[in-house]
Amino acid sequence: MNLQNVEVAKETQKPLLNSLYTFENFVEGDSNNFAFLAAKSVSSNPEVLYNPLIIQGGIGSGATHLMQAVGNVMAAQGKVVIYASVEQFLNDFTHHLSNRTMDRFRDKYRKCDLLLIDDIQFLSGKNQIQEEFFHTFEALRNEKKQIIITSDKHPKQITELNEGLKSQILSGLEVNILPQELETKKGIIKKKCEINHLKLDNEMIHYIATTIEGNTHKIVGIITKLSAYSQLLKVDITIEIVRNVVESQIIV
């Protein structure tokens, strides 16, 4: 293997995946059931059922979690998985373009088994990178390799998006994650408590779920802070502590 191939291999051998983003750690509910089942199906039958898979959901909806859950399954099978946000894809493109190493960029993104691209809406108005992504998309589809993308809106609503690229995206399956209902939020809180070895009673869980808007990131922040209180101060969490932490997390 020559030096260039070694460098490409280094770039692709360790996908930037969160090991906690698994299907087992994902809380399924009415708001995300369809997206969950679609992602699970893709992890079992990549390149066969839904390609591309587009997961639509706002910040903290769990779209990135589901995308990376597929990545973790396939990476464990020895598949080459590439994960990047649109910003990372753009920075990578700019770096290789300025260094005249676009062959390495294309080898990295076009010679993988699974390409995961987060926040596709940020391609809006970026014509040069859209063209590169279009050709990357086309090359992977021709090789029957799986593509999963996330967006905070339906692809039809993304302005200044190349029509050819939009057509490619819309040729797949688009699944929407809706705002979390109460029981799903409670399930998420319980799962995060389990991961953080934190004990909260039903009153505390209900208070967090009914006070915090449906954003998993906010819930994770609260559980992390409560866990720190419990471990560092060596105290049992009370409803008063929960109320104080939740109130401190709410932006007035």
What pLDDT score was predicted for residue 214?
A: 67
pLDDT average per 10 residues of sequence, the chain (252 residues): 43 71 94 95 84 92 95 95 95 94 94 95 91 93 94 91 90 92 92 93 95 84 93 92 88 50
Tell whether 22 and 52 lie within a shared domain.
yes
- The helix (H) or strand (E) run that includes residue 187 is helix 182-195
What pLDDT score was predicted for residue 14?
A: 53
Q: How many domains does the chain have?
A: 2
DSSP 111: S
Tell whether 25 and 57 lie within a shared domain.
yes
Strand residue runs (E) in 78-158: 81-85, 114-118, 146-151
Instruction: Mark which of 176, 194, 217 sits at the end of a domain.
Output: 176
What pLDDT score was predicted for residue 85?
A: 94
Quote the domain boundaries for residue 144: 3-176
Instruction: Mark which of 121, 146, 176 sits at the end of a domain.
Output: 176
Tell whether 42 and 137 lie within a shared domain.
yes
Q: 131: domain CATH number?
A: 3.40.50.300
**What is the rounded distance in angstroms from the CA atom of residue 227 to the CA atom of residue 234?**
10
Tell whether 115 and 224 lie within a shared domain.
no
pTM listed for this prediction: 0.85
Q: 232: domain CATH number?
A: 1.10.8
Answer whether 50's CB lies under 8 Å from 38's CB. Answer: yes
Tell whether 29 and 146 lie within a shared domain.
yes
Tell whether 40 and 162 lie within a shared domain.
yes
